[in-house]
Structures are given as C-alpha cells and as structure tokens.
C-alpha cells in the first residue's frame, strides 16, 4: 500500500528516521561509555525494542509491569522497571517475571523495600534495586542523600535484594552533587553505587557532561515530537512519528476541523501552546480538541486546506499519542512496510 | 473477587448506579416525549449500549465508524454517526454497515453530501443525513440557517440520501431560533425537519425547555465525572465511574504519588483545576500527572494516606479515561460482577 492511502487518523512512523534516531543516540552513548537502556513506554512495540537492543542497548526500561510482561514475552531478558512495586498481586507478577528474565526495580521507601525483599526471599529470587532520588521534579524519589544512603543500606541488608545503584528523572544540575553525597555516605560501609541511571530525551545530548551518569533511559528519542523539537534535542527532519489526519470540515474561511482529537493526539500540552504542529500549514493553530475533532485556526496561513485534504501533525507528546492507537504504521520511501500492533498499549497495571 | 482486591490502577463502575443513571434519564426523556439516542463514545462497551436500548433508547450514537462497526457486530441496528464521512475507504465501510443496519450520518458541506450520495446510489443503499449546525462551539456545523437550508435541499435532491433533520452540539439558547429559521426556509419547499438531535450531558435536564428538540444524545450520564458533577447535572452519589489507584510513594509530609497518571486519567482539564477528585481525600489536589504517576498535594488534608493505601479518583473526564483502559470492572455490593473489555477502545478510524 502506498503511504498516501493510509486511512486517517493514523499514527505513522518514518522507518528510515526511526532507525537513524536509534543509531545516532546509541553511538553518542557508546562514545562516552554510557550504558543505553531505552524507555519503551514511548513506542510499546517489541520490534522497536529489539531494534534498540540490536544496535547496542544493554536492556530496556518499562514503566509498568504490564509493559515488562509484554517485552519478556517478546524475548527481552534485561528490564528495569523504575517503579515502586507494591501489593501482593504486583509482587507476585514481579516474581514470575524475575524467574524468566533479569528484572531490576526502584524503590524510594522502606515499605517498598520490605515488600520486595519478602517476596524475593520467599521465592528464592534475586532482585536488583536502585534507590530513586528526586532532582527537583517532585515526583517519586527520596529528597536527601542521607535518606538515599539509609534506603540503600536497607536494600543491601534485605534478603533477596541487592543495592544496584541510584536512579532519577530527569538528569540535571542537582544529579551530580546528590550522587556524590550518597557515595560519601555508603562507600565507607563497603557499598558501591554501581549504576547511576538517569533519563530525559530533552537533555540527552548533555549526558556526557555529567560524569556521575553510567546509564541513560531515553524514550522519545526514537520518535520525537513537538516537545522534543522545542527542547532543541531533535530537529524536525529527525522526528519520525506523526499523526495523519483529514480535514473533515471547513465551517468558515478561517477555521478547519480535523478527524484527530483528544482520543488521537491526547490533551497533553507539556507547556506548549496548541495541540500539535501541522507540517503542511505551520502557521495554523490547533486551538482546541474534542474527542474526535481537532479545531484549527487557519487565518495566519496564506493558503488553506480543502475539505478532504490529508495533513501531517507533529503531536505535542508522542508517548501518549502512540498509546491511543491500536497500531502504528511504518513507512519507507512512500510505501507501507509494516503495521505494528501497539502491543503494550494500555498496560497501566 | 471482592472489590477491594482489584489491582490498580483500574477503571471501576458501580453497576447499581450505572443502571439507575440509565433509567433516570430515560424516564425523563420519555416523560417529555424526546427520543433517547445515547452516545456510546463514553463507555464503548456493547453490553452497556444494550442496557440503554433495553430501557428504551431508540438507537445509539457512535462518533466514529470504528465504534459503529463494533456495535453492529454486537447486534445493534440503529446507529447515528454524527460525523462527516469522507474518502473512499470510509465511504466503503459506511456502505458495508448500511447494508446490515440503519446508519444515519451528518454533513456540514456539499463535499460530504456529494460523496455520501455517490457511494449510496452506486451501492443501492439508502442513508438518512442530518445537517449539522453550529450553536457556538465552533466545531463542525454550518453557521447560518440559510446554509443549513441549502445543504438540506442538496441532501434531499441527492440520490441515495434522505434529509432526516438537524443536528447540533451542544443544545443551548441558539438552538431553538436556528431551527425555527431553517423550518421557515425548507417547509415551503415541502421538506420536513423530522428530527432535531442535540447533545450534552451537562445540560441534559434542560432538554424539555427546548421545544424544538426531538432527540437527545447524551454520553457521560451513564458514568458521570468531575465535569458533570461541577456542571450540576449529576450528584457525587450518582457518579458510577471511578479510577482506583494506589499511593506508591510519599516522598514528603505533604506530597504523595499515585500509580495513575496521564495514561490512566488523561490530561483533560475541561476547565477544572487539578486532574481529578480523590474521594477519600477531597481536600487533596492532583496537581500534576506524569504518564504513570499522579502527583498529589495533601497539605490541606487532616489525615494523609500511607504508602500502599488505595484511593478512589473521580476523573475530570470519564470518556477519555475509559478509553485508556483495556477493561472496565463492574462492581455490585462490594463484589466484582463483570469485567468488560472496552471493545471500541481506540476506534478512532
């Protein structure tokens, strides 16, 4: 099928750009001796994860156990789940995975550590645990090096667990000093901070300036979106992911309505104005979204689209847009080459 | 399984409330002689659609053909797709559906009407078409009664099509005068505005004040959410849909992190502050969302949750939250009674 016949709205990936993005960042990390552990929450597609591993990634990152279950079934054997795994059901699922693959996790509280240890010890399983710390995002993560060192010590002394290092998101100017402090506190006890795992596509090209970093978890770098474009981490020509959409209405001279709404693009703004960039009409503004309609102002555009015209939208946030589609269509040289089911879509558990 | 053992994050429906919501609105419309054509984009679950039909709905509304395909496969035979259906592929799908069920659509341009007519005529199929008009939302819809009358006349004269009436969203003070004007223009030509179809859960109890309205398309009334609560259309005790979530981190005295983020709750704000109402901690504020984390400020709460505690979130917008889950869990008297796959989830085509 030729790409222009793809029915809309559709999530489309330019395969040549996707491959180039995977190679480019891998080479960068290789050059600087940083381990690559890409985050698959962006694409949720086993074949893309395998492409990342083939190019040199040491393993992958999954945000939820459900994603990891899909990826283990796809044959992947080294997965970090940077999440506090809590509760009997999730611990049971973690143990089952850990019998089939190397699964490491994170923790930011003793509650999490004690639960992990009880489950691992009881089942004769060994789980590496990274201590999560907060560099200012105010999400998960212990807030002081002292708390990090205490938790690391608890992990190290807990049956079934091994203190594997530190983890944070995003990497920033606080990362180095925090890690340094933790090292000072734990190394005298004979413990090693073997891994310092950080993330963030927007700051990925600065990784080499952070000598403390040993491992990088980027997700969006495979696709790119309006956020990564605005951040300067990727160029428009590198962005591989887009939403194809049809103009279904032109109710006035200035307005147009697309067949992609919040159930295709998501409502994520990420600090941006408008809900995506229309490549054919860069001056247009997607000023509003209904669930299945995008509301566009074309007044600043010299030419305006006809009803039925197909446009290409760079979404604000590729990770959530990708998660809204049943499948992603891979295109090369104007032809559809592959249709990938988004296998870990909706894997929130 | 008892409801308290449901793994989180989960989309949960209180079945008794769901049933009561369906009955309550049906009785209201019946009392006022208004046809009920509920919008299934909210739940996307065939069994709930059948519950609505059993209680007296004349048919259903689907926003996209993909939803209608799921519902026709589930045995539903009267569906309005209030959308401009454009392009060969979509017209072919519409024709296939129209051979198996009564499918009506909307149009707001001659481009749409001519496409529908060519496809219907060629295939010997008969398609009722409502003309969509704009009451101020600035989405689809012709902007003047004159344009509506012209398009109605085009529909009526187009082979394979029948002018079935007028459609808008939402119902408001502009609806009546607009419809009145169109009637004045088309009735002298021997045409009838047989149906005036309007929508909006937030204004559903005002339908009887609009004498022009013959049919109502409400979606969210089955579930309810923070938006319908704030609009005054539903009480908290009527809301049947919620997201169960676990507190996975308490990085500070004032903050807590949930296992439900933008991939469970969506980023839809709908004019509200914060990303949902935590029923057990109504003073808490979900001030931010990552994809798999909800960031909560608990400083205004007298008591604060422990790590591992499960909470109940009323999301801002039930339609998009429901669409993020693979399944919805129906609960009655504290027991899980049914697990519904969200069959038309992701049906954006």
Distance from CA of B31 to the nearest CA of A (A): 31
Last residue of a domain, one of B191, B222, B253: B222
Say whether both B194 and B274 belong to one domain: no
SS3 string of chain B?
CEHHHCCCCEEEEEHHHHHHHHHHHHHHHHHCCCEECCECCCCCCHHHHHHHHHCCCCCEECCCHHHHHHHHHCCCCEEEECCCCCCHHHHHHHHHHHCCCEEEEEECCHHHHHHHHHHHHHCCCCEEEEEEECCCCCCCCECCHHHHHHHHHHHHCCCCEEEEEEECCCCCCCHHHHHHHHHHHHHHHCCCCCEEEEECCCCHHHHHHCCCCCEEECCHHHCCCHHHHHHCCCCHHHCCEEEEEEEEECCCCCEEEECCCCCCCCCCCCCCCCCCEECCCCCCEEEEECCCCEEEECCCCCCCCCCCCEEEEECCCHHHHHHHCCEEEEEECCEEEEEEECCCCCCCC
Nearest to B307 among A111, A268, A320 (CB): A111
| CA atoms of A49 and A60, how far apart (whole Å) | 7
Determine the average pLDDT of the residues in B82-96. Answer: 98
**Domain match, B218 and B251 both:** no
Name which of A92, A98, A100 is nearest A129 in CA terms. Answer: A98
Residue of A nearest to B85 (CA): A248
Compare all CA atoms of chain B with the CA of A6 and give the residue at the minimum distance. Answer: B89
Contact A322/A302 with Cβ under 8 angstroms?
no
Chain A residues with CB inside 8 Å of B336's CB? none
CA–CA dist B330, A309 (Å, integer): 42
What's the rounded Cα separation, in Å, for the pair B305 and B284? 11
Task: Report residue A121's pLDDT band, with 50, 70 and 90 as the boundaries.
Answer: very high
Mutate: best of B316, B346, B347, partner A, most A CBs <10 A: B346
Q: Classify residue A326: in a domain, yes or no.
A: yes
**Residue-level pLDDT at A163:** 98
| Inter-chain touch B89–A248, beta carbons under 8 Å | no
Q: What angle do CA B128, B130, B135 make, to 5 degrees?
A: 170
CB contact under 8 A, B248 and A84: yes
B349 lies in some domain: no
A contact test, residue of B148, B291, B317, B345 with most A CBs within 10 A = B291
Residue B346 lies in a domain: no
Task: Tell if the CB–CB gap between A111 and B262 is shorter than 8 Å.
Answer: no
pLDDT tens per residue, range A301-317: 999 999 999 999 999 99
Torsion sign, CA atoms A108, A110, A114, A117: positive
pLDDT tens digit sequence for B4-55: 999 999 999 999 999 999 999 999 999 999 999 999 999 999 999 999 999 9
pLDDT of res. B53: 98
Q: Choose among A9, A323, A348: nearest Cβ to B9.
A: A348
Contacts of B109 in chain A (CB under 8 A): 249-250, 307
Helix (H) or strand (E) holding A13: strand A10-14
Q: Do B324 and A323 touch (CB under 8 A)?
A: yes
Q: Does any domain span residue B23?
A: yes
Q: Could you give the CA distance from residue B180 to residue B185 in angstroms, rounded to a whole number?
A: 9
| Distance between B267 CA and the closest CA of chain A, angstroms | 5
Quote the mean pLDDT of chain A.
98
Q: Which residues of A touch B64 (CB under 8 A)?
A: 292
Q: What is the mean pLDDT of residues A224-243?
A: 98
Tell if the CB–CB gap between A109 and B346 is shorter than 8 Å.
Answer: no
Residues A307 and A216 in one domain: no
ipTM of the complex: 0.97
Q: Do A293 and B140 touch (CB under 8 A)?
A: yes
Give the integer Cα–Cα distance in Å for B52 and A103. Answer: 46
* CB-CB contact of A88 with B308 (8 Å): no
Q: How many inter-chain contacts (A to B, CB under 8 Å) are there?
A: 166
In angstroms, the separation between the Cα of residue B271 and the nearest Cα of chain A is: 12
What is the dihedral sign for C-alpha B208, B213, B218, B222? positive
Contacts of A73 (CB under 8 A, 6+ apart): none
Among residues B174, B192, B222, the one where a domain terminates is: B222
Q: Which residue of A has its CA nearest to B245?
A: A349
Closest residue in A to B243 (Cα) is: A348
Candidate from A139, A295, A319 with C-beta closest to B139: A295
CATH number for the domain harbouring residue A68: 3.20.20.10
Chain A residues in contact with B80 by the CB 8 A cut-off are: none
**Cβ <8 Å between A7 and B290:** no
Contact (Cβ atoms closer than 8 angstroms) between residue B316 and residue B241 = no
Phi-psi category of B138—alpha, beta or left, where left has phi over 0 and alpha has psi -120 to 50?
left
For B310-340, what is each residue's pLDDT tens digit?
Answer: 999 999 999 999 999 999 999 999 999 999 9
Query: Do B205 and B252 belong to one domain?
Result: no
Q: Chain B contacts of A139, Cβ < 8 Å?
A: 249, 251, 257, 290, 293, 295
Q: Residue B247 sits in which domain range? A: 3-9+227-341
Residue B93's pLDDT band (cuts 50, 70, 90): very high
Alpha-carbon distance A31 to nearest alpha carbon in chain B (angstroms): 31
Residue B240 lies in a domain: yes
| A293/B139 Cβ within 8 A | yes
**H or E segment to which residue A341 belongs:** strand A335-341
From A194, A222, A250, give the residue that closes a domain: A222
For residues B263-290, give the mean pLDDT. Answer: 97
Report how many domains make up chain B: 2
Q: Residues of chain B with pLDDT > 70: what percent?
A: 100
Q: Which residues on A lie below 8 Å from B264 (Cβ)?
A: 348
Tell me the mean pLDDT in the region B259-282. Answer: 97
Same domain flag for A207 and A232: no
Instruction: Please indicate, yes or no, whether residues A75 and A181 belong to a single structural domain of this protein.
Output: yes
Nearest Cα residue in chain A from B247: A86
Nearest to A291 among B63, B248, B295 (CB): B63
Q: How confident is the model at residue A246 (pLDDT cuts 50, 70, 90)?
A: very high
Whether residues A235 and A112 share a domain: the answer is: no
* Residues ≥6 apart with Cβ < 8 Å to A110: A151, A154
Which pLDDT tens digit goes with each residue over B204-259? 999 999 999 999 999 999 999 999 999 999 999 999 999 999 999 999 999 999 99
User: Do the chains contact at B87 and A63, CB–CB below 8 Å?
Assistant: no
Same domain, B198 and B86: yes
- Asked if A275 and A157 sit in the same domain, the reply is no
Nearest-neighbour CA in chain A from B299: distance (Å): 14
Give me B87's structure tokens: 């392009």
Q: Is residue B192 part of a domain?
A: yes
Do residue A252 and residue B143 have CB atoms under 8 angstroms apart? yes
Structure tokens at B204: 């559903």
Residue B191 sits in the same domain as residue B262: no
pLDDT value at position B1? Answer: 92
Q: Do A140 and B9 touch (CB under 8 A)?
A: no
Residue A86 lies in a domain: yes
Contact B87 A346 (CB under 8 A): no
B214 and B166 Cβ atoms separated by less than 8 Å: no
CB contacts of B10 in chain A (<8 Å) are 349
Buried b (16+ CB within 10 A) or exposed e, A191-215: bebebbbbbbbbbbeebeebebbbb
Nearest one of A4, A59, A3, A34 to A195, comparing CA atoms: A34
Q: Which CATH number do you get for residue A273? A: 2.40.37.20
CB contact under 8 A, A260 and B348: yes
Q: Please list every residue in chain A whose beta carbon sits closer than 8 Å to the beta carbon of residue B246.
A: 86-87
**B59 with B157, same domain?**
yes
Compute CA distances B163 → B42, B91, B131, whole Å. 28, 18, 8
Q: Do B7 and A89 touch (CB under 8 A)?
A: yes
Query: Does residue B300 belong to any structural domain of this protein?
Result: yes
Residue B170: C-alpha distances to residues B136, B139, B207 (Å): 8, 10, 11
Q: Check whether residue A254 and residue A279 sit in a common domain.
A: yes
The mean pLDDT of chain B is: 98
Min CA distance, B200 vs chain A (Å)? 13
């Amino acid at each position: 099928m030729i790409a222009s016949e793809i029915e809309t709205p559709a999530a489309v990936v330019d395969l040549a750009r996707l491959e180039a993005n995977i190679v480019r960042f891998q080479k960068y990390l290789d050059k600087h001796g940083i381990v690559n552990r890409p985050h698959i929450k962006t694409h949720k597609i086993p074949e893309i994860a395998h492409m990342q591993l083939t190019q040199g990634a040491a393993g992958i990152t999954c945000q939820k156990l459900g994603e990891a279950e899909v990826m283990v079934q796809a044959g992947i054997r080294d997965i970090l789940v940077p999440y506090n795994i809590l509760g009997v059901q999730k611990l049971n699922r973690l143990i089952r995975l850990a019998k089939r693959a190397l699964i490491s996790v994170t923790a930011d509280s003793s509650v999490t550590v004690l639960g992990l240890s009880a489950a691992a010890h009881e089942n004769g399983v060994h789980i590496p645990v990274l201590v999560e710390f907060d560099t200012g995002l105010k999400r998960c993560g212990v807030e002081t090096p002292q708390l990090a060192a205490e938790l690391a010590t608890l992990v190290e002394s807990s049956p079934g667990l091994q203190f594997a290092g530190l983890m944070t998101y995003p990497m920033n100017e606080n990362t180095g000093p925090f890690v340094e402090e933790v090292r000072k506190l734990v190394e005298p006890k004979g413990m090693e901070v073997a891994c310092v795992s950080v993330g963030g596509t927007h700051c990925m090209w600065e990784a080499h300036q952070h000598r403390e970093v040993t491992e990088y978890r980027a997700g969006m770098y495979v696709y790119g979106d309006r956020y990564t474009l605005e951040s300067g981490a990727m160029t428009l020509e590198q962005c591989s992911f887009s939403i194809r959409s049809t103009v279904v209405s032109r109710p006035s001279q200035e307005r147009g309505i697309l067949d992609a709404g919040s159930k295709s693009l998501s409502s994520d703004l990420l600090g941006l104005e408008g809900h995506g960039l229309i490549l054919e009409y860069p001056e247009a503004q997607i000023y509003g979204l209904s669930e299945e309609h995008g509301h566009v102002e074309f007044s600043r555009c010299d030419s305006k689209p006809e009803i039925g015209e197909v446009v290409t939208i760079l979404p604000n946030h590729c990770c959530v847009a990708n998660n809204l589609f049943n499948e992603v269509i891979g295109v090369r040289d104007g032809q559809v080459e592959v249709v990938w089911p988004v296998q870990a879509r909706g894997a929130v558990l």
